[in-house]
Structure 1
Amino acid sequence: MESIVFAFVVPAVAMILDSLFGDPQSLPHPVRFIGQGLDLFEGSARKVGLNMRAAGWVAVILFGIGAWSIAEVLVAIPYVGILIALYLAYAGLALGCLVKDARRVAFLLDTEDLAGAREALSMLVSRDTSKLDPAGIRRTLAETVSENLNDGFVAPMFYLTIFGPGGLWAYKAVSTMDSMWGYRTERYKDLGRAAAKTDDLLAFIPARLTAWALLLTGWKRGLNYGEAKVRFEEDARKMESPNAGWPMAVAAWLMNGQMGGRAVYFGEKKEKPILGPKGRGWDRDMIRTLIFLCKSAGHRIGWVFIIGLGWLQLAF
C-alpha cells in the first residue's frame, strides 16, 4: 500500500497543490538550502584555490548525491515520511508559480504599467529587461514560459514519477546549480561547466517530451499544428542549448509568433537564433493563449507520467 501511495498519490497530490497554490515560498524551501550550500561551496573552493572546472564536477556529485540521500532518509521516517515526501514533491514543481508570474507580467503590460512589467519579468529571466518595449516583453515572456515548462515542471515530474522525491531533488540540485553557475562569464565559465553539461543530459528526454506534449495540446486546441509539426525540430536544433529550443520552437510555430533575436545578458548584446515565423510579434491574446497552452500541456503530461511511469516505481 505504501509503495502505491509513493508512486501515484504523492505525485498526483503534489501536482494538484502546485496548480492551486504555486510555490510554497513562505515555508522552508529546499532550493534555498541548496542555493546557500552552493554559495558556501563556491566561496570555499575559491578561497583554497581549487581548480574551478574540477570543483564544478565535485559539486555536481556532492550536491546531487547529497540531495537524493537526504530526501530518501526523510521520506523513510516512520509515520511522517509520507507527509515529508508530499511536501518535497510539491516544493519541487513550479508550473503553478510560472503561470501565476507570467499572468502578472501580462496583466501589468495590458494595464500599460511598463515599468512594473519590466520589473516583474526580470524576476523570471537572466537577461536585462530594463529597456524592453511591450513587444520585447511579450516575446521574452513567451520564451521563458515555454522553456521553463520543461525546466520547472516536466523534468522534475519525470524524475519524481520514476525515482521518487530523491530523484526529483537530485535533478533539482543540478538544475539549481546550472541556474546559479551556468553562465559563460569569466567567473562561471569553468565552475559552471559540469552543472551545464549534467543538466543538458538530465533534461534531454524531458525537453523532447515537453515539445510533443505542447504539440498535441496545440492540435486539440486548433492551433497551427500542421506547420509546427513539420518545422519545429529544425528550429529547435538552432539553439546553443540541446534542450531549450524544443518547447520554445513548438510554442513559436503553434502560436505563429517569433522567438529569439537580440537580447542583452550581463551588459552584452547577443543575437539568439530565430524560432518560429520571422517578424511575427506577440499580442495580448497570443500570450494568454500560450500561458494556458503550457499549463494544459504540463498537466496532461503530468498525468501520463503518474499513470505510466509510476508503475516503474512499483516494479523496482
Structure 2
Amino acid sequence: MESVMYWAVPLCAVLVDWFVGDPHGWPHPVCALGWYAGRIEYCARRFAGQKFLLAKGALGVVLMAGTAWLVVAGLTAIPYVGLILALYFSFAGLALGQLMREGRHVLALLDAGELEDARFALSYLVSRETEQMSEEDVRAGLAETLSENLNDGFVAPFFYLMLGGPALLWAYKAVSTLDSMWGYRTPQYEKFGKVAARMDDVLAWIPARLCALGLLCGAKLLRYETAGEAFGHASIDAGKSASPNAGWPMATAAWLAGAAMGGRAVYFGKVKEKPVLGPAGEPWTDAALRRLMRLIPVGGLVGAAFCGILAAVIRFAVC
C-alpha cells in the first residue's frame, strides 16, 4: 500500500489534474486554508493589538502548516478510504491543467476580439489591475502569470507531494497561501507576514530552479531555436526580480518565448515599474504567447520529473 501511495497516487493526480482540473462548484481545500488564515489573523490582531506582530505571524505559519499536515495525514491514513482521499488531496494541490485551461480561455477571448472579457478573465489570475490593459498588456500579463504559477501551482507542490505525500504537499500549500495573503510589504503586513514570505521563499527555492531547468529541457524537446542561449540570459535576469524564486521560471520563459516580461503595471491604484526580464523591447505578440503556451505544459512536466527524482533520492538517503 505504501508503494502504491508513493508512486501511483502522484502520477494519477497529474492525470486527473490535466483532464479534470477543479470541478466547477466543488469545494477546494485552498478555500478552507484561506478561511483558516483569516481567523488566525483576526485572533492574532485582537490579542495585544499591534504588538508582537512578527511573533504572531510566525505562530500563524506554524498553526497553518501544522494543521494542514495533521488533517491530511489523518484523513489519508483511514483504511481503504484513505487512498481515495490521498488521490483527491494530491490532484487538488496541483494546478497545471487548470492553469492551462484558464490561459486558453483568455487567449480564446483575445482571438474573438473580446478584449473587455479577456481583461475580466485575466483579473482572476493576476493581482494587478486589468481594466485599462491593451491587448498586448493582456498577453504580457497572461504570460507572466502562466510562467510564475507554473512553479507555485505545479512544480513546487509536486516536489513536496513526492517528498512527503499529500500531507507535506498541503503543509507547503498552507505556507504558500499565507504568503499570497500576508506576504505584502505594506504597513499592515510588513511584520505580520514576514515569516510567511521568507518561509515560502525557502520552500520554493529548489523547485523554482528545477522548474527553470524543466522549461529549458522542454524547449529542447520542442526544438526551440532559443533554447541554447536562454540559460545564460535567464540566470542573469532571474536576479533582477524582487523574489528570489519567481524570476527563474519567468526569465527563462521570457527568453524562450522571445518576449519581455515586467515593466509598468498598476497594483491597487499605484503604478509600479517592475524589472524587465527577457529580451527588452520585444512585445508579446500572438505568436510569442502561443509559443509560451506550448512550452508551459512540456516544461512543467519535465520540471516535475526532476523534482520527483530529487525527492526520491532524498527519501532513499534519509530512510
TM-score for the superposition, normalised by structure 2: 0.95
Match of residue 278, structure 2, among 276, 279, 296: 276
CA shift for structure 1 position 110: 1.6
Give aligned pairs, total.
315
Letter in 1 for 2:20: F
**Which amino acid in the other structure matches residue 157 of structure 1?**
F
Alpha-carbon distance in structure 2 between the residues aligned to 1:13 and 1:105: 28
What letter matches 2:172 in structure 1? Answer: Y
Residue of structure 2 equivalent to 1:176? 177
How far does the alpha carbon of each residue in 1:247-285 deviate from its partner, in whole angstroms, 9 at most, with x for none? 011111111101110111111111111111111001112
Residue 186 of structure 1, CA deviation:
2.5
| Residue in structure 1 matched with residue 156 of structure 2 by the alignment | 155
Q: Report which stretch shifted further, 262-271 or 43-52.
A: 43-52
Give the structure, 1 or 2, with the largest relative contact order (CA under 8 Å, sep 6 or more). 1
From 295, 307, 311, the counterpart of 1:293: 295
Q: 1:6 to 1:305 in 2, by over 3 A?
A: farther
| Long gaps (5+) in structure 1 | none
Aligned-residue identity in percent: 48
Q: Deviations over 1:219-253 (max 9, x none)?
A: 22122112202211000000110000000111111
Q: Does residue 77 in structure 1 map to residue 78 in structure 2?
A: yes
Report if the CA contact (8 A) 1:24-1:91 is conserved: no
> What does residue 204 of structure 2 align with?
203
CA apart distance, 1:131: 0.9
- Counterparts of 1:308 and 1:278, CA distance in 2: 34
> Using a 3 Å threshold, how does the CA distance of structure 1 residues 9 and 305 change in structure 2: closer, same or farther?
farther
**Inter-partner Cα distance in structure 1 for 2:26 and 2:252:** 35
The yes-or-no answer on 1:244 pairing with 2:243 is no
- The answer as to whether partners of 1:259 and 1:275 remain within 8 angstroms in 2 is yes
Residue 28, structure 1, aligned to residue 30, structure 2: no
TM superposition shift of 1:292: 2.0
Q: In structure 2, what is the Cα distance between the partners aligned to 1:21 and 1:292?
A: 19
TM-score by length of 1: 0.96
Q: Secondary structure at the match of 1:237?
A: helix
Deviation at 1:63, TM superposition (A): 0.8
2:57–2:195 contact (8 Å) kept in structure 1 = yes
Q: CA RMSD in A?
A: 1.5
Residue 307 of structure 1: how far off its partner (Å): 5.8
Q: Distance in 2 between matches of 1:195 and 1:265?
A: 21
User: In the aligned structure 1, how far is the partner of 2:308 from the partner of 2:159?
Assistant: 9
Instruction: Please give the per-residue CA displacement for 1:121-167, whole angstroms capped at 9, x wherever unaligned.
Output: 11001111111101111111111101100000000000000110111
Q: Where does residue 226 of structure 1 map in the other structure? A: 228
Aligned-partner SS, 1:260: strand
SS at match of 1:261: strand
Q: Secondary structure at the match of 1:197?
A: helix
Cα distance in structure 2, aligned partners of 1:24 and 1:194: 33
What are the residue-to-residue correspondences of 1:130-145 with 2, within 5 Å?
Answer: 130-145=131-146
CA distance in 2, matches of 1:292, 1:214: 11
Amino acid at match of 1:296: V
Who is 2:193 aligned against? 192
Gaps of 5+ in 2: none
Asked if the contact 2:159/2:307 (under 8 Å) is kept, the reply is yes
Deviation at 1:311, TM superposition (A): 6.4
Give the AA of the match of 1:19: W
Structure-1 separation of matches of 2:252 and 2:313: 29
**In the TM superposition, what is the alpha-carbon distance from 1:289 to its structure 2 partner?**
2.0
